[in-house]
Structure 1
Amino acid sequence: MSISGQAGKEYTNIGVGFGTESTGLALSGNWTHNDDDGDVAGVGLGLNLPLGPLMATVGGKGVYTNPNYGDEGYAAAVGGGLQWKIGNSFRLFGEYYYSPDSLSSGIQSYEEANAGARYTIMRPVSIETGYRYLNLSGKDGNRDNAVADGPYVGVNASF
């Protein structure tokens, strides 16, 4: 189990995960908030597979969207990620999820990308830094809502 929190210049993100750092099934959830652009909450299910020194994840997310400019709705996003554990204390990671108009309601599309590095200070506590992009493309004349678009710092606890 892991619990994490990240803060960027104009957004915050909190998350929880089960099985996200080992092979097999993984369950995750997160909530991202931006005062200017709205909120996004999601629950994901993925399959983690070893791929040489990397661990690859393929899966999907059910996402609730509440943009400040537009209608609230949902998205069913598909995607995945890669993790590269370097030694016992350092990990690089990245992920990408996308939902087109046909799998979204209230928005034209959902797009989320995250990449960063995590350093374990003392098990179970890690610090991380990275870049997060989360955009809700506007529909029916509504503008896009970039809920997250920029660097962040965070803390993670894994048990």
Structure 2
Amino acid sequence: MKNVAVLGLASLLLVSAGAQAINLHGQIGKDYTNLGFGMGTETSGIAVSGNWAHSEDDGDIAGLGLGYNLPLGPFLATVGGKGIYLNPDVGSKGYAIAVGGGLQWHIASGFSLFGEYYYSPDSLSSGVKEYQEANAGARYTIMRPLTVEAGYRYINLTGKEGRRDNAIADGPYVGVSAGF
């Protein structure tokens, strides 16, 4: 019975994802890089996302997220969670299960503002005291499939047991994405 439920959920995700657009993006900020993908992130319903962020001074993270997008007038709200692998330069490798969400506001054709925040307390993470990720900015679609983006990204791994914090990202960035 358990296998049937898991197979049914996986089938639902695949059918939902098959109808959604795929987005690939890259962002560069001072001292960090972020690469990612999204499926269904611009429409209502189930959304899947993933990213890898790297800092020369503080380490890496890799995350996989699952969310649900809800249309609210001119806004698209997302609620969901992420599983994140943590590899700080100082401290222990570990994981975090973060919950959060975001909001997109499509102001005009091709132009939107966005913001998101995810948090994992000590009880849902290992190797760190807490995990925080925030991102806010603006996107402009030059012509489908090309979009440019500018914003501010913050990813912090709060040190545990007297270890220092590892700020994977903390600053402005520019980015580009392609949606198919």
The TM-score normalised by the length of structure 2 is 0.88
Structure 2 residue 148 is the aligned partner of structure 1 residue 127: yes
Higher RCO, 1 vs 2 (CA within 8 Å, ≥6 residues apart): 1
Q: CA deviation at 1:7?
A: 0.1
Provide the residue aligned with 1:145 in structure 2.
166
Question: Residue in 1 aligned with 2:120?
Answer: 99
Report whether the alignment pairs 1:67 with 2:100: no
Query: Paired residue for 1:82?
Result: 103
2:130 to 78, 95, 109: 109
- Report the 3-state secondary structure (helix = DSSP H, G, I; strand = E; otherwise coil) of the residue aligned with 1:102: helix
CA distance in 1 between partners of 2:133 and 2:173 (Å): 15
Give the secondary-structure state (helix, strand or coil) at the position aligned to 1:105: coil
Gaps of 5+ in 1: none
Residues in 2 aligned to 1:15 and 1:88: alpha-carbon distance in whole angstroms: 24
Distance in structure 2 (CA, Å) of the matches to 1:89 and 1:54? 14
TM-score using structure 1 length: 0.99
Identity %: 70
1:21 aligns with 2:47: no
| Structure with the largest fraction of helix | 2
Count of residue correspondences = 159
Considering only aligned residues, what root-mean-square deviation do their CA atoms show, in Å? 0.5
